Structure 1
Amino acid sequence: MGVVIFAQLRRVFGAMHGFFRKEVPMASKLTSLLIVEVLQRCASEEHPLSQLDIRKRLERDYDVKISRNTMSSYIGELQAHFPDSLRAQVRERMNCHDGSPQVISTNLYWMHEFSESEVRLIGDGVMAAPLPQAQKRELLEKVTGLNPHAGVGVLKHIVSADRKKEHTTVSQLLYNIETLDQAISHKKRIQFYWGEYVAKHGKLVLERTEDCAKVDPRQIVASDGHYYLLATYPGAPDKIYHFRIDVLLDVEELDEHVAKSTTHQGLTDYRQKHLMMFGGKSTATIRVHDEAPARLRVFDAFGVHARVVGSTDGFIDFEVKANLDAVRYWIKQNSEAVEAIAPKELRGSLAKDARAMLAQYETS
């Protein structure tokens, strides 16, 4: 059948290793493998195949011809061996030879571990990652293996609106994440040098400083398109700090064990209070124009947890539990449609920001 066909079969062989122990001729086993390959690659619950469809694909793709009755036998054997994976709709028909009732299986598909909608969600995550477009497309091709049919019908339409990023910067970020992930798993301390962006040759360039730090890595967090390391300094395991991973240089795992681990709740509390996340224990009240675009912005930021606490002519008041810094910057982005009502510290911070901006633009 050739190298290409056997390369395709490798993906389904693992799930069928038990099937290969049966006392069945090798040619028959290979045909069964091809049927499974067709079902995995071309069918899903939303797009099942008939037995005739499978026969046509076997002949077209693999030059394998089998009769209708032989196909029914293969399907029956596969259903007996993989009752949880091979799904089908059963219907009756009359036998064309003797008129007796005959049960056949149609609308066949292989139950994938991931549904089309789940694959789409993973694909969206890939496209939101801080990677070059070419690398994102390469990752999407790998994601299609989770449900090949979804990959063809769903992922091909995903595009990214992200600005282009330097390939060297992305490679540095991925290397840092891999090193930090291993260090966290090994419970080992790390060392790194601080990086800073300087203007050089008409653009910003990341350069290494001479400032070196040793920390105990605790957790990697993704927030607002950036990756952060939550860590503690040796000797102070309860004081958490966060570091932008993409500006750490020469990250190295040391042969030193981390101090006693910070509690999971401590890490959760820190994330909610510091990493510009719309989630936390502080309560804020915001007043929003009662218009569809403004209401959508509230939903995008806070979801269904934004609670209506009042309304006036043309406005709705929402109460949200959030990181106040995140709310502050979000309101600055949406100031034409949103006003902070409470707490006073939030209003005060926004008033200070507004005065500073007014002073900047009035003097120009």
Structure 2
Amino acid sequence: MVSPAAVAHRYMTYLRYYVATMPQAAEDLWQMSFQFERLSEEQRTPGHWYRYEGQPGLIEVGLDRSGEWHPDGILPEGVDPGQVVTIPKGEPVPTVLDHLLGLLGQLPADAPNHAQTVEMMETLKDLGTAERMARLAKNFQQTLASVPPVAVEQIRFLEQASLQMSPELLAGKARGYDAAGVLMVTAIAREVAKLNDKACSALLAKAAAWQLAAVDEMAARLIEGCWGLGLKAQLTAALDSLRSQGDEIIQKAREGLYPERRPDLTLDIYYSLLLQSVPYLLGAHSGYFKLSKAPNLSEDDDEMFTRRAGSAEEKLVRITSALHYAVQDVDLARLHGKQALVASLLKSDPKQADTLVLEIIDLQFFYPPTFKPVLMGSGAAPSGVSPAA
């Protein structure tokens, strides 16, 4: 029989992955990963080029497991076309949403919190719809418009809204892009107010009246408006602040103190922290990328914004991949397999075992460094999270 702790662990693991950026992105990667798993073991080893059936782009996976996307689908000169592995579509598998709803559906109808569970099921179904995104943007604008039209009051509201987005994201009631939009608007308004509080107030008043499809669209349009007003320094400072805050959260997750001999709790805490970094990185990447396409851009600014957008994107890929790996190993079968492999190597080649552990932590699963004792066998094995727990 599945324990309540196991159900809760499984649910939160799927939920973090589902809401990190947007549900559709999670679902697309989910289906693609199962397509990839249908390949032979040799085809899945690092050092190949991949093309998903029916799609033009190519994915290059190096021997160090690093990946690079080539949207033009053109192989560099000297690369043998025979190195390209085509990944067939295959039959779709149950979606991430299917899994989430199935887990919530396990709660008995007579449970005290059944009504909240039913409400959460409806929230998850609605989370990725265009209607919900527009509704959230409209509610945000209406509240902003109701605030006294002075910068200090408007920014106070925006900062409160930013603080609220993290628990909303963790609870599965907001997407990463929703939180990123609020964070971007807040960061931009804060920097513009330092220069001219009346100009900031006027910009926000206009933003509250725009027709928007999503909150992050408000941020994108604010960037356009500020760039037109010559506020490059303010925009750069705002995006740099978001990037810095995202980095700080990742650092906290990677080096944080976790419960001793409870790696099951370690991973849930760790992944929750990683999730909280995503909106900051999303905001930084979206903003830098938009600025890299701005009109009348100097070569130096083009290079700077492109480089910073790429750096933020690389971190986003690491974080979202870690959340994806967590779902793929929700039962921790892969972790137990790695532990067994490390244990075997410790007997024959301790140095190689240590190298493998570092590879698992830094390249494969992106575990926190404090997880090393678990992989080396000196920490407790995860418990309380398997389906049969």
| TM-score, shorter chain, exceeding 0.5 | no
More helix by share: 2
In the superposition, the TM-score normalised over structure 2's length comes to 0.22
Q: Which has the larger radius of gyration?
A: 1
Where relative contact order (Cα < 8 A, 6+ residues apart) is larger, the structure is 2
